[in-house]
Amino acid sequence: MSDSARQFPAYDPADLWILDHEDIDALEIGAGILGTGGGGNPYVGKLRARQALNEGLQLSILPHQKIHDDALVVSVGGIGAPVVGVERIREGREGLRCIRALEAHLNCQVDAIACEEIGGSNAIEPLLVGAYAGMPVVDCDGMGRAFPEMQMTTYSIYGHRSTPSAMCDVHGNVVIFQHAASELWHERMARATVVSQGAGSDLASAPMRGQFVKKYGIPNSYTQAIGLGRTVRAAQKAHEDPIDAICKHERGKRLFTGKITDLKRHLQGGFVRGEVQLSGIDAQHGETGQVLIQNENLVFYHNEQMACCVPDLILVLDVDTGEAITTELLRYGQRVAIVALPCHELLRSPQALDVVGPKAFGFDDITYVPLQEV
């Protein structure tokens, strides 16, 4: 892994997209939508990004295909409980310390950051780590949405071993996971460690080569999230239907418009599981809908027919603003639009479906049928 003496430039600085305040505002909305109900609230991350910009730091994105094949890229993200994220806010440099710890452990120099999960609060964390470390974030991620567990990334699915990895907390504690027998073991050990660290840490996985990231990272995640946020903002300003605007921008499908008529949530194995019942309004008066939840929105039934399931994206959006409603904020009487977005092809292969398909979430009776693109 030692690349200390290498000669190539990892990327051309002229290719970088430097983010401004407006991009960050759009990213908050877009990442919230791609969170498909989970992923944590990006608001705190947005505030931190604003602080970083005001301090003169540079938040930059490198186009996906512009990273050198041999460059070292580290995927980083927050790990823990969303409620901790809004109360025990981070110290700020956890992610940077993860990168430095990995570099020291592996005697290498990291060139760029990759995003683990574009949906929710983990969209902004890599940008902050990159800003502190003086590195860009490659325009890609490992999920194209939000998922509850670490092994559910395309990086892991397509053969990258995420160990050795480094986890840091607010105190400055650093844990290196030298080796995990499987990606699932890594997830289990990381989960146990993060609880002892107060349930809000950062984790950086083993470096990947640029070549691998270009092939197996879900491309253009930041372009998509920021574009999505801008689309919603523009529609709100022009008093146009933000749901239609999202569908048009994302080649998505508006599956249902309705009102929440019942809501059940319960704890199971540390996850919030639940279901939302909907009754149609406007053109869909008299029809029914149902969303099944496990932290994220996983399955949607329309008139008792399965209409969309993981890994395709099921968005529950406020019908008036077009902004995402996370699963913990759902409540009776809300008027919502259910929009489905096609997931990336990388999540639709048999090996991906083993990890992120309906059966991986315990829906044994559901067979994944790819959402038809509009």
Q: Which one of 19-27, 160-168, 194-202, 235-243 is the stretch in contact with other proteins (CB under 8 A)?
A: 194-202
Binding of residue 171 to other proteins (CB under 8 A) = yes
Q: Which of 67, 354, 40 lies closest to 200, judged by CA?
A: 40
The secondary structure of residue 302, as a DSSP letter, is E
Distance, CA of 230 to CA of 91 (rounded, Å): 30
By CB under 8 A, residue 259 contacts other proteins: yes
User: Pick from 107, 182, 261, 349: which binds other proteins (CB under 8 A)?
Assistant: 261
* Residue 219, C-beta contacts closer than 8 angstroms, at least 6 positions apart: 64, 65, 139, 140, 344
Q: Tell whether residue 198 is a contact of other proteins (CB under 8 A).
A: yes
- Our finding on whether 272 is near other proteins (CB under 8 A) is yes
Of 57, 176, 184, 199, the one binding other proteins (CB under 8 A) is 199
Is residue 184 close enough to count as binding other proteins by CB under 8 A?
Answer: no
Q: How far is the CB of 334 from other proteins (least distance, A)?
A: 8
Angle at alpha carbon of residue 149, lines to 228 and 373, rounded to 5°: 40
- Contact call for residue 189 and other proteins (CB under 8 A): no
Buried b (16+ CB within 10 A) or exposed e, 127-157: bbbbbbbebbbbbbbbbbbbbbbbbbbbbbb
Q: Which of 30, 35, 78, 80 binds other proteins (CB under 8 A)?
A: 80
What is the separation, in whole angstroms, between the first and last Cα of the chain?
A: 44
**Which string of DSSP letters, residue by residue, matches 164-198?**
SEEEE-TT--EEEE---SSHHHHHHHHHHHHHHTT
| By the rule CB under 8 A, 176 interacts with other proteins | no
Residue placing its CB nearer to other proteins in the complex, 65 or 279: 279
Q: Which of residues 90-149 bind other proteins (CB under 8 A)?
A: 90-92
Binding mask 279-298 for other proteins (x = CB under 8 A): ----------------x---
As measured in angstroms, the least distance from the Cβ of 173 to other proteins is: 11
Rounded CA-CA distance 73/63 in Å is 13
Binding mask 201-240 for other proteins (x = CB under 8 A): ----------------------------------------
Calpha distance 194→140 (Å, rounded) = 25
Among 5, 13, 266, 351, binds other proteins (CB under 8 A): 266
Site for other proteins contains 84 (CB under 8 A): yes
For residues 278 and 290, is the Cβ–Cβ distance under 8 A?
yes
Strands 137-141 and 112-115: parallel
**Residues in the site for other proteins, rule: CB under 8 A?**
44, 47-48, 51, 80-84, 86-92, 170-172, 191, 195, 198-199, 259, 261, 265-267, 270-272, 295, 328-329, 331-333, 335
